[in-house]
Amino acid sequence: MDKIKNQNQTDCLGHGVGLRSEHFQDILERKPKVDWFEAISENFMDTEGKPLKVLEQVRADYPIGLHGTSLSIGSAGGLNPLYLKKLKKLSDRIQPAIISDHLCWAEHGGKRLFDLLPLPFTNEALELVVRNVDQLQNYLGRRILLENVSAYISFKSSEMTEWTFLNEVARKSGCGILLDVNNIYVNSFNHGFAPQDYLNGIDADKVLQYHISGHTDKGKFLFDTHVGEVIQPVWQLYSDAVQRFGDVSSLIEWDTEIRGLDELLVLNEKSREIAKQIQLGDLSCQVRGDGGSELILPTASDSRPSLSEVQSMFTLEMLGKEKTKLAEVLNNQAGDPGIERMDVYAEGYPARISEALAEAYPAISKILGEGAFSDLALGFAQSRSFEHYNLNAVAPLFPDFLKVTPWQESFPFLNDLADLERAVHLAFHAETRSPATPEDFAEKAARDGESLVFQFQTHVFVVRSFWPILDIWSARHLPAAQIKINVENRPQAVLVHRKNEQVFCQILDPMEVAVLQRLLLGETLSSAFDVMTEADDITPVQSWFAKWIALGLMTGFEWADQAK
């Protein structure tokens, strides 16, 4: 651990932008003039599909930083072993220049909340975070950076300021600081402190990266949305930070209502120019003391709850499960009870789940309409808790929930359509292994073809329906007025698979799909053909196998006794 604590400052990567899927093609084709890209770790940890392949292509041309949102370094229950394993696997594969996450928590008692939740700034929380950082840095074998987060509530039990807490975490654990200047500005307004006090409270050698982004003014509070232009006071705060901490790696974030890449590059150049002018001595540090609202000093309570108790109450309130004593441990915010600001977190939870579902089930969303789909997503979010850290892993659970709703009465094809969209979602992220060849099959079949069991790629699915679900799904991007589909007496069986990074869907002959389904279930070739007892002799069996092998659906063949 001492070696990690004593590492030299991370090399300055220059001025970068966030790597977002909306810009994938543009980046690969143009190779824009930008120093580095920062990728959201979770977007690449649980996929073997197109996102990971794009990341590898970008990594070949640019330095990459991995920036997580689900590490939950402040969870009282400790770090998630699966998350650590997946992060290390991605890190070993990509070899990022920086690994970072947020100084917050996102999980308690096995319940994932999919948010960056604030910590009470207590000595107990400080010690826990330092232990967790030690564990993470030892596991990864490298230094990490932690980012300050925006917060909409604060705790009476806090024993120090936010910046003191952040600085002490860095001092005691040896991690670096990713300083988000927009979050400092947002919190200075929300909690009533001067941004310059924040900068002055951080050791000059601890800050190794900056984030710069926009936010939304909600009237009584500012909301960190990473949307819109960066306002001048935030640029000034960035300038002040560069004056104090130096021209370390900086990054432009824009995550909502994402614009074209060129607009981000303009902001990127502005950050570069500000840093350059400071180096030349053309800009001076401007101390700002305007906090925007009354100063709320942390007041330690003799009867303060433990960190675990705070997170338990917060979780129950956020999920709407039951009322707790959380209101008693929160400071007032802008004259209002702190508990009222919990709506920001309580409303954000289903909104993020709804956004993930809309991305995975665009046809369902199109048919129901935005309002009805949002209501359905809210019901799904409230129906259960989720353990996995990645919303992509939550989406496949949705069709099972849909089946117990009354929507089937209005749209009898809806459940089958959801199964198709789930298959497409899973195929998009699935691993692809080396496909079997005709020679592989011939070699095995020559000895005992009837006892062969087929081994398939994990991205192969078959979805059968009494309805034309592929036609309906294919119309998901068309204007409603252009969609005219006859759904009566048009059953379809759809093969879903992936070739390279693209997912394909195609209709299969009913007999072909019957055989293929049995093979997918692990039945022998002989058993699979039992469904063909009434089929004509002209059934094109050989052409099926040739097509399946040409599509790369199988990875190998084993005799039944060996397959087990």
**Three-class DSSP labels, 144-187:** CEEECCCCCCCECCCCCCHHHHHHHHHHHHCCEEEEEHHHHHHH
Give the tokens for residue 528.
């699979």
Q: Report if residue 411 sits inside a domain.
A: no
Domain end residue (candidates: 227, 258, 283): 283
Q: What is the pLDDT of residue 109?
A: 94
Q: Report if residue 455 sits inside a domain.
A: yes
Q: Report if residue 400 sits inside a domain.
A: no
For the entire predicted model, the pTM comes to 0.91
Q: Report if residue 398 sits inside a domain.
A: no
Q: What is the pLDDT of residue 486?
A: 86
Q: What is the pLDDT of residue 481?
A: 78
Give the tokens for residue 103.
């100084």
Question: Which of 101, 98, 129, 93 is closest to 42 using CA atoms?
Answer: 101
Q: CATH code at 477?
A: 3.90.930
**What range defines the domain where residue 268 resides?**
15-283
Residue 560: other Cβ atoms inside 10 A? 17
Q: CB-based burial of residue 486 (10 Å sphere; 0-12 exposed, 13-18 middle, 19+ buried)?
A: exposed
Domain end residue (candidates: 249, 264, 283): 283
Q: Report if residue 405 sits inside a domain.
A: no
Domain end residue (candidates: 225, 251, 283): 283
Give the tokens for residue 303.
């009867």
Q: CATH code at 93?
A: 3.20.20.150
d(CA 404, CA 421): 18
d(CA 78, CA 134): 12
d(CA 78, CA 132): 7
Q: What is the mean pLDDT of each run of 10 residues along the chain (564 residues)?
A: 46 94 95 97 96 97 98 98 98 98 97 97 98 98 98 97 98 98 98 97 97 95 90 97 96 89 94 92 46 41 84 94 91 92 95 96 95 95 94 96 94 97 98 94 86 95 97 91 85 96 94 93 91 67 91 93 67
d(CA 352, CA 358): 10
Q: Report if residue 413 sits inside a domain.
A: no
Cβ contacts of 539 within 8 Å, gap of 6 or more: 511, 532
Q: Report if residue 549 sits inside a domain.
A: yes
Q: How many domains in the chain?
A: 2
Q: Report if residue 397 sits inside a domain.
A: no
Q: What is the pLDDT of residue 100?
A: 98
Q: What is the pLDDT of residue 343?
A: 94
Long-range contacts of 85-90 (CB under 8 A, 24+ apart): 86/45, 86/46, 87/41, 87/45, 87/140, 88/139, 88/140, 89/45, 90/41, 90/44, 90/45, 90/66
Q: What is the pLDDT of residue 289?
A: 36
Question: Which of 253, 209, 261, 265 is closest to 40 using CA atoms?
Answer: 253
Q: What is the pLDDT of residue 480?
A: 78
